[in-house]
Amino acid sequence: MVLSGRPLKLKDGRHLLERLSTIFDDIYSQAPRIQNELVNRRSLSSAAAAARMRLIERMFTDSTKPLLGMDQHKKPPEMSMYLSVLKLTRLHQQQGESWRIGEPHHKATHAGFYPPFAEFVKSFKREPDSRVNIAELFQELRRPPYGVRDGIIPLLLTVFAIAHDKDVAFYKDGSFLRELNGEALLVLTKAPERFDIQYCKIEGVRAELFDKLLAVLEIKPLKNRDMELLDVVKELCVFVAQLPAFVLNTKKLPPSALKVRDTILNAREPAKLLFSDLPVACGFDAIGVQASDSKSAHMFVKTLKTSLDDLRTAYPELQDRLRRQLQEVFHLNKAFQQSRRDIAVRAEQILLTVTEPKLRAFCLRLMDGNLPESEWLESVGSYLALKPPSKWHDAEEDLFKLELSDVATRFHRVESILFAGTNASKNAVGVRLAITQANGMEHERVVHFTSDEEHQLRELQTQFGILLAKDKRLGLAAASRAIWQI
């Protein structure tokens, strides 16, 4: 036998095995030492593979129990795997009154599990926040100096995933997995190339940013566990998902709010969303693992809060615009609840004679006093723009304004015709004003007022009387011009 150009003198087969053992100890100097022939193999039997999966499922569901909840009086294959891979190596150990799965300490030499775990972290830190394909990671663990067997690798990955559950994210076929469990591990062991893992530890400025985001989103701390990255991401995604369709469709928002909205809607990676995509959307640099500028993080959170508030108020502001437009076309400036009641009374009066279908249907919507205000606006807006305001695009808002102007003009014409024989209500008085210019153009309007407004009306009447008394002829002409402009 020749090694490095020099022949080896071998006495017998036993001596050969000893030298080979020494050579492989040098090549695979950091390999885990597992005394279990069921699992420490390149290829597992079907029975051993099934036992390993049962053990992995228990690692996810029963890690706080001794023996992972297994009956100590029974000896299934997964029990021997547990004793040699987890308990003997102290990857599963008691802490206080509970048990937990944790990564090996760097000073622990038993079984040599620390080097493969260090390789996990080293692979991630080469490119912070980037995804690492699990098949490539497995291949790295198989090579020297680790030489980890295929039967052991899924168990090590499970330990790593549980020990770093707050710091890692898994993806299957490019889609984010909310959690890694036994079912996903079963697929992973058969097709690791379909899975990616992303290490996104929250520390330094990121930890400060994370705490500020919890406050901005008003996320209350949980009693049974620490807050995680996914808690914040989930809250953001739920917030956007629950916004009315109008807010998701409109372009009538500040640029930062539009970018934040679209960034959250298109999010694919939790860590990238919080520490890269959202800061960029708000006009800041990405906040890397080694970031040290806490002032920028503070300004980012402040801008993000403003953008989220803009999104939150976008639909109520649309409703306010609808209220103002309705009050404007009906010449009302009272509180909207009173304006709505006045509009309903006037609509009821003209409904007695109007037969044109569109105007009649519009009046019926105006008269519906049983609906809450928000639903009433939805009803009126849906009729004029053929779609409820909560689902509008910007074009529908423009259409509503045009349609409202048209139907209100016809409403006022009918109201003017009926004025001579109809009051707006038992408690209201109306006057019809008409001004015709020399060129033939004419404006007319029916103005209603109630007895409650009589005092204010008399005060204004007195002021007008004083002005007209100075010069009746020019005063009337000036009044007509002022009324025309209004």
Give the pair of three-digit tokens for residue 442. 């004419």
Q: Rounded to an integer, what distance in angstroms lies between the CA atom of residue 74 and that of residue 85?
A: 18
pLDDT of residue 314: 96
pLDDT of residue 456: 84
Q: Which long-range contacts (CB under 8 A, 24 or more apart) does 44-50 make?
A: 44/150, 44/151, 47/77, 48/77, 48/151, 49/189
* Selected residue with higher pLDDT from 465 and 311: 311
pLDDT at 279 over 60: yes
pLDDT of residue 248: 96
pLDDT at 107 over 90: no
* Selected residue with higher pLDDT from 44 and 116: 44
pLDDT of residue 222: 61
Backbone phi, then psi, for 105, in 5-degree steps?
Answer: -75, 150
pLDDT at 400 over 90: yes
Q: Which of 281, 307, 309, 284 is nearest to 297 (CA)?
A: 284
pLDDT of residue 292: 59
**Position 424 confidence tier, pLDDT thresholds 50, 70, 90:** very low
Are the CB atoms for 42 and 152 separated by under 8 Å?
Answer: no
Give the pair of three-digit tokens for residue 185. 């591990």
Indicate the length of the chain as a whole number: 486
If you average pLDDT over each of 93-102, 178-187, 220-229, 413-422, which comes out highest? 93-102
Q: Rounded to an integer, what distance in angstroms lies between the CA atom of residue 38 and that of residue 82?
A: 11
Q: Rounded to an integer, what distance in angstroms lies between the CA atom of residue 378 and that of residue 467?
A: 45
Are the CB atoms for 63 and 98 separated by under 8 Å?
Answer: no
Least confident segment among 43-57, 226-240, 293-307, 391-405: 226-240
Determine the 3-state secondary structure of 346 from DSSP.
helix
Alpha helices in 129-228 (DSSP H): 134-142, 153-163, 182-190, 205-216
Q: What is the mean pLDDT of residues 345-370?
A: 90
User: What residue has token string 């020099």?
Assistant: 6
Q: Which residues contact 308 (CB under 8 A, 6 or more apart)?
A: 216, 239, 257, 260
Q: Rounded to an integer, what distance in angstroms lies between the CA atom of residue 384 and that of residue 410?
A: 14
Sign for the pseudo-dihedral over CA of 212, 218, 223, 224: negative
Q: Rounded to an integer, what distance in angstroms lies between the CA atom of residue 185 and that of residue 158?
A: 8
pLDDT at 2 over 50: no
pLDDT of residue 423: 47
Taking only the tens place, the pLDDT of each residue in 426-481 is 455 566 677 777 676 667 677 777 777 788 888 888 888 888 888 878 877 788 78
* Chain-centre distance for alpha carbon 339: 38
Q: What is the mean pLDDT of residues 81-95?
A: 91
pLDDT of residue 418: 75
Encoded amino acid at 472, one letter: K
Q: What is the mean pLDDT of residues 196-212?
A: 77
Q: Which long-range contacts (CB under 8 A, 24 or more apart) does 447-452 make?
A: 447/331, 448/342, 448/346, 448/424, 450/425, 451/427
pTM, two decimals, is 0.62
Taking only the tens place, the pLDDT of each residue in 312-329 is 999 999 999 999 999 999
Q: What is the mean pLDDT of residues 120-138?
A: 79
Q: What is the gyration radius of the CA atoms in the chain, in angstroms?
A: 38
pLDDT of residue 109: 54
The mean predicted confidence, pLDDT, of the chain is 84
Residues above pLDDT 90, as percent of the chain: 42
Element (H, E) at 279: helix 278-281
Are the CB atoms for 90 and 81 separated by under 8 Å?
Answer: no
